[in-house]
A and B are shown apart, each in its own frame.
Chain A
Amino acid sequence: MTTLKPAQLADEGLTDWVWLVRGIEARYDTGGFARGLELVNRIGAAAEEADHHPDVTLTWPTVHVRLISHDVGAVTDRDVAMARTISDLARELGLTATPEKLSKLEWALDTADKPAAVRFWAAVLGYDGDSDPNEVTDPDGRQVTLWFQTSDAREDARQRFHVDVHVAPEQAQARIDAALAAGGTLVSESASPSFTVIADPEGNKACVCTWQPAAPK
């Protein structure tokens, strides 16, 4: 198995595919759910045959595919082979790739203590914090990655960005407890269970939210 770099991918002539952060992605306009479903089915059959499995998102007008070799955390020749197969399947169905519509959003946090930041944010987001010392990721690859950039320690900055984590009401307490156990502090529960404000060890805030209204005072 060979791992690839972005420049090598360019030599493969995979025009449907774009290198986005660690994986490669393609997006097809399907014009309707039925054709999208047909594409997903054919991709699925090919994936089973190759024993190599993409992450696939089917919506009414699109199919989105992401390929990475999870066992090595990189793009390999297996991904290139599967990408080529998927492009062929899409072409057989007359579907158009729309690489110009692909972009991947990541979110970054400056921290003076990376291990502490990883521990807290993995807990509060319900993410995997064990695979990489520099980031926490959604185990399903569906939601945004948070990565950490080393900075010097400073006084609390006024914060403009924050994150809201919506969970089912019966899961909120467990999530809050996990975040506190991972070094967080409780900032305010005056609006709980609508939202509970917690801070990471450096004072950056997250809200654990549910659909329930704040309890009457």
Chain B
Amino acid sequence: MPDTLRRSQVLEIQPDGWEIMLQAIEAVYATGDFATGLAFVDRIGAAAEAAGHHPDVTLTYPRVHVRLTSHDAGGVTDRDIALAGEIRDIAADMGITATPEQLSRIELALDAHDHDAAQAFWAAVLGYDLADQEVVDPQGRQVTLWFQETERHDEPRQRFHLDVTVPPDQAESRIAAALAAGGTLVSDEEAPAFTVLADPEGNKACICTSRGRD
């Protein structure tokens, strides 16, 4: 397994247009239209196949977003830098511009007294994987939730909550998994539109479906 690079090393060698975003490097390119984006993705794909190293790529009408990390090493390695360089060259060849000012990555954080209990519940309710101090989307597409140590305290009035929309036939098993992981049922009055659950410390999540709405 290749070694992960330190941030200072990445900085020295990362190609123009690429930025460090947590344990990955990311770039976003303004392609202007879908056909150009598709041709760009195609060439990125060919380079990835040749390198045997694969980015996560999101193609939308005006932009292509690329994220590179070495999943096996848990961070950025030489392989990521090399492929990022190739992607930069492909973009330059196609006259496509990187727009690093559009890059930002959002994470949610939750203060928890009992990390293990919080992790178990939130992995179950979100359908996520357990990772170090956090729960993550197995596809890497959706927002990460991490846990911050806090002292024991009275339950506060909560302003933020999370909504998890699932296919209607999956709601029951998702709710069961969350309850088995230490959650409690707060209200199923509005089910199947939404069912309110709470984690062991009282933080709320709703399991939502497209049923029971007009």
- Residues on A lying within 8 angstroms of B by beta carbon are 5-6, 18-21, 27, 33-34, 37, 40-41, 44, 47-48, 53, 55-60, 62, 64, 70, 99-111, 125-126, 140-144, 151, 154, 157-168, 171, 174-175, 202, 204, 211
Residue in A closest to B204 when the chains form the complex, CB atoms:
A108
Given contacts A105-B126, A106-B163, A110-B159, contact A143 B143 (CB under 8 A): yes
B residues in contact with A175, CB < 8 Å:
104
Q: Is the CB of A104 within 8 A of B164?
A: yes
Q: Is the CB of A161 within 8 A of B105?
A: no
Residue in B closest to A142 when the chains form the complex, CB atoms:
B58
| B187 adjacent to chain A (CB < 8 Å) | no
Q: Is the CB of A211 within 8 A of B20?
A: yes
B residues in contact with A141, CB < 8 Å:
60
The size of the chain B interface, using a CB distance under 8 A, is 66
Q: Which of B78-86, B89-97, B107-115, B178-186 contacts A (4 or more CB under 8 A)?
A: B107-115
| B141 adjacent to chain A (CB < 8 Å) | yes
For the complex, give the distance between the alpha carbons of A40 and B55 in Å. Answer: 14
Residue in B closest to A45 when the chains form the complex, CB atoms:
B38
For the complex formed, measure the closest distance between the CB of B134 and the CB atoms of chain A, giving whole angstroms.
11
Given contacts A58-B57, A102-B167, contact A164 B160 (CB under 8 A): no
From 145 to 179 in chain B, residues with beta carbon under 8 angstroms from any chain A beta carbon are 150, 153, 156-167, 169-170, 174
Q: Is the CB of B104 within 8 A of A165?
A: yes
Q: Is the CB of B160 within 8 A of A125?
A: no
| B45 adjacent to chain A (CB < 8 Å) | yes
Q: Is the CB of B38 within 8 A of A41?
A: yes
Can you report 6 A-B residue pairs in the complex whose CB atoms are below 8 A from each other?
A33-B54, A34-B49, A64-B141, A103-B166, A108-B160, A163-B108
B residues in contact with A140, CB < 8 Å:
28, 58, 60, 63, 65
Residue in A closest to B57 when the chains form the complex, CB atoms:
A58
Q: Is the CB of B163 within 8 A of A107?
A: yes
Interface string of B40-69 (1 = CB under 8 A from A): 011001001100001011111101010000
| B131 adjacent to chain A (CB < 8 Å) | no
Closest 5 CB pairs of A and B: A6-B210, A161-B160, A44-B38, A37-B45, A158-B156
Q: Is the CB of A159 within 8 A of B156?
A: yes
B residues in contact with A58, CB < 8 Å:
41, 45, 56-59
| B127 adjacent to chain A (CB < 8 Å) | yes
Q: Given A34, A107, A143, A168, which contacts B162 in the complex, CB threshold below 8 Å?
A: A107
For the complex, give the distance between the alpha carbons of A174 and B101 in Å. Answer: 10
Besides A159-B159, A160-B110, 10 new A-B residue pairs in contact (Cβ under 8 A), listed by A number: A6-B210, A6-B213, A41-B38, A53-B61, A62-B139, A103-B167, A108-B162, A143-B143, A157-B157, A211-B20
For the complex, give the distance between the alpha carbons of A185 and B159 in Å. Answer: 18
For the complex, give the distance between the alpha carbons of A62 and B20 in Å. Answer: 24
B residues in contact with A143, CB < 8 Å:
105-106, 143
Q: Given B19, B45, B160, B161, which contacts A204 in the complex, CB threshold below 8 Å?
A: B160
A residues in contact with B112, CB < 8 Å:
160
Q: Given A20, A47, A157, which contacts B165 in the complex, CB threshold below 8 Å?
A: A20
For the complex, give the distance between the alpha carbons of A167 and B139 in Å. Answer: 21
Q: Given B28, B160, B203, which contacts A107 in the complex, CB threshold below 8 Å?
A: B160
| B13 adjacent to chain A (CB < 8 Å) | no
| B12 adjacent to chain A (CB < 8 Å) | no
Given contacts A6-B210, A106-B162, A107-B163, contact A166 B107 (CB under 8 A): yes
For the complex, give the distance between the alpha carbons of A29 and B102 in Å. Answer: 30
| B22 adjacent to chain A (CB < 8 Å) | yes
